[in-house]
Chain A
Amino acid sequence: MALLEVKDLQVRVEDREILHGLSLTVNDGEVHAIMGPNGSGKSTLSHVIAGKPGYEVTGGQILFRGEDLLEMEPDERAAKGVFLAFQYPVEIPGVTTMNFLRTALNAQRKARGESELLVPDFLKKVRSVAAGLNIPQDMLKRGVNVGFSGGEKKRNEILQMALFEPSLCILDEMDSGLDIDALRIAADGVNALRSPERAMVVITHYQRLLNYIVPDYVHVMAKGRVVKSGGKELALQLEESGYAQFEDAA
């Protein structure tokens, strides 16, 4: 059974249809890149998979290990193993990163019928993951993402990914706002999490990110659907020729 099956998905925001019949299948451990110009619906797809309110699904379905993902609340999806790394992670003043991580991890474990992690075990785990990502301990004591640089915010997303151990990661424009050094650190963090048990959908406008996170498959989106799929060489081809040909075709 496929990990994620998006079938003929149609989505509206207010009165505008953004996705017109999008299909995508992701199996365990695969890394898929979704590329496309601005406004092609890439972020809408990531939001709908994660369950963000404000989108109306008018047709099609999304199955996660055969279960109807659209019937689940966002927190149920997280507990099942769906993780969205946000393009713009929000700042939450007054909630320390440590408290947030522990509350979230325990909420997911509870939803899966697992026991809460004991505080010492949790702290040990967070510290070792944070050290691997070059995240200083004092960042964990601050409000979630408050005063973090763009690079730090993205690393905080990867820290969560490492901690929650999801089976599907959707990386929404992870490269936006990052300089080349910050991008390399983030990509290294993501690559360290690649495993046969963890699939990834990497959403990006630019080919550059895919030099660091090398995908198994590349899909080109234009005007709300996938217009071409191929191997990693498709990304290089796009770099040469641009999106215009696909937009015309769509």
Chain B
Amino acid sequence: MNVVLAKTDTGRAVSSSFALARERLPGSGKVAEQRRQAFEAFERAGLPHRRIEDWKYTDLRVLMREVLPLAAAPDTAALSRAETALKLHAIERTRRLVLVDGVFAPKLSDLGKSEKGLSVRTLREVLEAGDGALQSELLASDNSNPMIALNTAMATDGVVIEIANGTVLEQPLHVVHVASATTPAATFTRSLLRIGRDVAATLVESFVAAEGAKAYQTYDSLIVSLDDNARLDHLRLVEDGLEAFNIASAAVTLGAHAQLNTFGMVSGASVSRYQPTIVFAGEGARVDTNGVNLIKGRQHADTTLFMDHAVPNCASREVFRAVIDDRAHSVFQGRIIVRPDAQKTDAKMMTRALLLSDEAEADNKPELEIFADDVTCGHGATTGALDESLLFYLRARGLPEKEAQALLIQAFVGEAIESITSDSLREHVIAAARRWLEARG
């Protein structure tokens, strides 16, 4: 079946795209071999479709149809459009690292002032001239997931960030992906964040579009490792253009007593899918993942999370809130596995979807697989409309209908947004959520 499907027009187009792109892809020898294997894995599977369990709600053959050819490296005009877009999405007092059409843009990035303990290189640099172990780590690939395999095969650039033991970063790192190409094309980025022992760091990722960038495709993959006792605050904002595709994954590993506090918000992109995999590798670690989808029109936003409790005494919390208007479709799949040794695991997952129209759609699929016997695990999921009695109360106090709705929607997403510890980043997200509500009219 798959063999036949791989020979569809889409399969052939991607195949020739890879052949054409190969010369532009950094790395040779083992790196090129890892790419080739990954590409073959993608080619065998083709775009994932609804008959594959994990992709039941997000059938890329229907939603996306094809993988576009690799975007050209940005020219001066593209960089200039990107610069304008950056002004709209800038976050003050952060160190900005910018990728335009999948290529690192040094002139738009804050590289001037170095910081002790922080190393920033590009993926291209590392794949062309880095050490072999790091190269292998960068292109290590779960080829059973066709979209990760595709990203491995095609990854053009990205940032490789290493933070030395004991460093407390002065400023958050802000990695901005700007789509700037005005002809439909695809970008493939892969980044790595290696966080040493006792480090405290903040990473913000933004996905945005410059003027004129429309039906582009962004494929991204992030690899994060937290050494013992490290802490990462992570913010991920998908604000792509409403005709764009954003297919991304993250692989996070936590050492002992490490802490990850992550918040994601999807308000952009026509179709988005984010697949974080979080692995507890040391005891006493804790993960808080929070997410908000604010979607409308015919947007489709999928978060498919895999939380792997491999060792004892770790805690994880997931709080997801989806606000879905018009004919939009929100998908949350959260799988928590508690392996036999992972006693005293404390894992809880709560997802709630708010439907603002009769045609809005939410799919929640929590899955718990528990193989240890001394654990506290739970999940809950609700889907519903705005509470009429609350709306009437607010209206009886003078709030017009839209304002009453907006206040209740803000309250609904508030619990997830409250998880952002930095005041300025939380305000940034609240402002973005308000803009979305105001645009609803």
Q: Which residues of A contact B (CB under 8 A)?
A: 50-53, 73-75, 77-79, 84, 86, 89-90, 92-95, 100, 103-105, 107-108, 111, 143, 160, 164
Contact residues of B between 359 and 402, Cβ < 8 Å to A: 387-390, 392-401
> Quick one: closest A residue to B389, CB to CB?
A90
Asked whether A92 lies within 8 Å of B408 as measured between CB atoms, the reply is yes
- B415 located at the interface, meaning its Cβ lies under 8 Å from any Cβ of chain A in the complex: yes
Cβ of B411 under 8 Å from chain A: yes
**How far is A51 from B411 in the complex, measured between Cα atoms in Å?**
24
> For residues 394 through 436 of chain B, which have their beta carbon under 8 Å from a beta carbon of chain A?
394-401, 403-404, 407-408, 410-412, 414-415
Q: Which residues of A contact B404 (CB under 8 A)?
A: 75
- A sample of 22 inter-chain contacts (CB < 8 A) reads A52-B392, A52-B396, A53-B388, A73-B401, A75-B400, A75-B401, A77-B396, A78-B396, A78-B397, A79-B398, A89-B393, A90-B387, A90-B389, A92-B408, A95-B408, A95-B410, A100-B394, A103-B407, A104-B398, A107-B397, A107-B400, A143-B411
Contact across chains for B393 and A86 when beta carbons are under 8 A apart: yes
Within the complex, what minimum Cβ distance (angstroms) separates A44 from chain B? Answer: 14
Provide the residues of chain A in CB contact with B400, threshold 8 Å. Answer: 73, 75, 107, 111
A94-B414, A107-B403, A111-B400 are known; give 15 further A-B pairs, CB within 8 A: A53-B388, A75-B395, A75-B399, A77-B396, A78-B395, A78-B397, A78-B398, A86-B393, A86-B396, A90-B390, A92-B411, A95-B411, A100-B407, A103-B407, A105-B398
Give complex CA distance A104, B398 in Å.
6
List of A residues within 8 angstroms of B398 by Cβ: 75, 78-79, 104-105, 107-108, 111, 164
In the complex, which residues of chain A have a beta carbon less than 8 angstroms from the beta carbon of B412? 94
The answer, among B390, B394, B396, for a CB contact under 8 Å with A50, is B396
> Is the pair A90, B411 in contact by a Cβ cutoff of 8 Å?
no
Taking CB atoms, residues of chain B closer than 8 Å to A95 are 407-408, 410-411
Which chain B positions have C-beta within 8 A of A73?
395, 400-401
Instruction: Note all chain B residues with C-beta closer than 8 A to A103.
Output: 399, 403, 407
Q: Which residues from chain A contact B399 at a C-beta distance below 8 Å?
A: 75, 103-104, 107
Q: Identify the closest chain B residue to A163 (Cβ).
A: B397
Shortest C-beta distance, B428 to chain A (Å), equals: 19
- Smallest CB–CB gap between B48 and chain A, Å? 36
Bound state CA distance, A79 and B414, in angstroms?
28
In angstroms, Cα B153 to Cα A54, docked, is 59
- Interchain CA distance A95-B410 in the complex, whole Å: 8
Query: Are B403 and A51 interface neighbours, CB within 8 A?
Result: no
Q: Is the CB of B394 within 8 A of A104?
A: yes
Asked if A51 meets B396 with Cβ closer than 8 Å, knowing A94-B410, A95-B408, A103-B407, the reply is yes
Whether A74 lies near B396 (C-beta < 8 A) is: yes
Q: 9 tightest CB-CB pairs across the interface, nearest first?
A: A94-B411, A108-B398, A78-B398, A104-B397, A74-B395, A94-B414, A107-B398, A95-B411, A90-B393
Tell me which residues across on chain B come within 8 A of A90, comparing CB atoms: 387, 389-390, 393
With A73-B395, A103-B407 as given contacts, are A92 and B401 in contact (CB-CB < 8 Å)? no
In the complex, A120 Cα to B397 Cα: how many Å? 21
Q: Which residue of A lies closest to B409 (CB)?
A: A94
Residues of B within 8 A of A86 (CB): 393, 396
Distance to closest chain A CB from B16 (angstroms)? 52
**Is the Cβ of A93 less than 8 Å from the Cβ of B403?**
no
Nearest CB on B from A58, distance (A):
21
Contacts of A77 in B (CB 8 A): 396
Known: A103-B407, A107-B403. A92 touches B393 (CB 8 A): yes
Q: How far is the CB of B389 from chain A (nearest CB, A)?
A: 5
Measured CB to CB, the closest approach of chain B to A43, in angstroms, equals 13
Residues in A with CB closer than 8 Å to B388 are 53
Q: Is the CB–CB distance between A51 and B395 below 8 Å?
A: yes
The interface centre, meaning the residue of B388, B395, B396, B415 with most chain A CB atoms within 10 A of its CB, is: B396
* Separation of A76 and B170 alpha carbons in the complex (Å): 51
Bound together, the chains give a CA A79 to CA B398 distance in angstroms of: 6
**Measured CA separation A103–B434 after assembly (Å):** 14
**Once the chains are docked, how many angstroms separate the CA of A77 from the CA of B398?**
8
- Choose among A51, A79, A104 the residue with the greatest number of B CB atoms under 10 Å from its CB: A104
Are A53 and B403 in contact (CB-based, < 8 A)? no
Distance, CA A75 to CA B408, complexed state (A):
16
Q: Which residues of B contact A108 (CB under 8 A)?
A: 397-398
Min CB–CB distance A247 → chain B (angstroms): 30
Chain A proximity of B433: nearest CB distance (Å): 12
Docked complex Cα distance between A164 and B397 (Å): 9
In the bound complex, how far is the Cα of B400 from the Cα of A75, in angstroms? 6
Q: Which residue of A lies closest to B387 (CB)?
A: A90
With a cutoff of 8 Å between Cβ atoms, the chain B residues found around residue A89 in the complex are 393
C-alpha spacing A107/B399, complex, angstroms = 6
Which A residues touch B414, using CB under 8 A? Answer: 94
- Of B388, B411, B414, the most chain A CB neighbours within 10 A belong to B411
Which B residues lie within 8 Å of A94 (CB)?
Answer: 410-412, 414-415
Distance of B429 from chain A, by nearest CB (Å): 15
Q: In the complex the two chains form, is B403's CB within 8 Å of A92's CB?
A: no
What residues of chain A lie closer than 8 Å to B401, measured between beta carbons? 73, 75
The chain B residue with its CB closest to the CB of A105 is B398
Contacts of A79 in B (CB 8 A): 398
Find chain A residues with CB under 8 A from B390 CB. 90, 92
Alpha-carbon separation in the docked complex, A50 to B397 (Å): 10
CB distance from A146 to the nearest CB of B (A): 10
A78 and B400 CA atoms in complex are apart in Å by: 10
Task: State the Cβ distance, B32 to closest chain A Cβ, in Å.
Answer: 52
A244, B431: Cα distance in complex, Å: 59
A191 to B274 Cα, complex, angstroms = 58
Which residue, of A53, A94, A103, has the highest number of chain B Cβ atoms within 10 A? A94
Distance, CA A50 to CA B415, complexed state (A): 31
Residue in chain B with minimal CB distance to A91:
B390
Q: Residues of A contacting B393 with CB < 8 Å?
A: 86, 89-90, 92
User: Once the chains are docked, how many angstroms separate the CA of A200 from the CA of B372?
Assistant: 63
How far apart are the CA atoms of A88 and B104 in the complex, in Å? 58
> Are the CB atoms of B396 and A84 closer together than 8 Å?
yes
A30 to chain B, nearest CB (A): 22
CB-defined contacts of B403 to chain A, threshold 8 Å? 103, 107
Closest to B415 in A: A94
Complexed CA–CA distance, A93 and B410 (Å): 11
Shortest C-beta distance, B26 to chain A (Å), equals 47
